[in-house]
């Protein structure tokens, strides 16, 4: 459809409203120059793919419910969802690297779980063997995740982001 020259920019209002243009770049020419408007589809596609991975992470961390402190049982899932929304975390947690038998960075999940134990979200008396047996019932204390359950994340941005989520949920962070 050809459009004649117009000095009325209002004619463009609603032109793409309600439209869905996956992987599209839309260029709109107006009288005062060229305006480029597009959605970064790579980010959108990553977000959609991460939704399934987020569900996998949630199923995994919910295995720790038996050792979640009673004060945090209701908020535990929300705390994890908020952690997964943090850019510093989401940018690395969905990259499993060379880890086998997982769709996400299980080591980072274990390290964040250690932070939860240190800050009282998980009962403080819970040790890495107990958590490994809950997370990986088939291999338990012999699973490689056990080593990671004794560590906190190396990445200071990740640690800070997780601590901020803890604070927002009323967790006392030293």
More confident residue, 171 or 49: 171
Name the range with the highest mean pLDDT among 16-20, 32-36, 116-120. Answer: 116-120
Band (58; pLDDT cuts 50, 70, 90): very high
The pLDDT of 151-165, averaged and rounded, is: 96
Closest CA to 116 of 54, 55, 60, 159: 159
Kindly report the backbone phi and psi dihedral angles of residue 77, in degrees, each rounded to the nearest multiple of 5, phi listed first.
Answer: -65, -40
More confident residue, 48 or 165: 165
More confident residue, 79 or 51: 79
Q: Are 92 and 158 in contact (CB under 8 A)?
A: yes
The pLDDT of 69-75, averaged and rounded, is: 96
Residue 53: the pLDDT is 85
Q: How much of the chain exceeds pLDDT 70, in percent? A: 71
Q: Are 173 and 166 in contact (CB under 8 A)?
A: yes
DSSP string of 17-84, one letter each residue: TT---TT-EEEEEETTEEEEEE--HHHHHHHHHHHHHHHHHHHHHGGGGGGB-GGGTTTHHHHHHHHH
What's the rounded Cα separation, in Å, for the pair 133 and 141? 6
What's the rounded Cα separation, in Å, for the pair 122 and 118? 8
Residue 5: the pLDDT is 55
Exposure of 105 in the CB half-sphere (CA atoms within 13 A): 16
């Amino acid at each position: 459809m050809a459009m004649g020259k117009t000095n009325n920019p209002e004619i463009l209002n609603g032109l793409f409203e309600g439209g869905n243009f996956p992987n599209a770049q839309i260029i709109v020419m107006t009288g005062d120059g060229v305006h480029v408007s597009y959605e970064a589809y790579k980010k959108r596609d990553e977000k959609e793919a991460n939704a399934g991975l987020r569900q996998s992470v949630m199923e995994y961390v919910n295995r720790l419910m038996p050792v979640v402190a009673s004060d945090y049982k209701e908020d535990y899932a929300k705390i994890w969802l908020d952690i997964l929304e943090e850019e510093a975390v989401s940018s690395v947690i969905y990259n499993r690297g060379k880890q086998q038998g997982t769709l996400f960075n299980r080591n980072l999940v274990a390290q964040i779980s250690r932070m939860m134990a240190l800050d009282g979200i998980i009962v403080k008396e819970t040790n890495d063997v107990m958590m490994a047996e809950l997370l990986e019932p088939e291999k338990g204390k012999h699973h490689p995740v056990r080593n990671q359950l004794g560590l906190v994340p190396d990445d200071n941005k990740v640690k800070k982001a997780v601590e901020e989520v803890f604070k927002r949920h009323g967790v006392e962070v030293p």
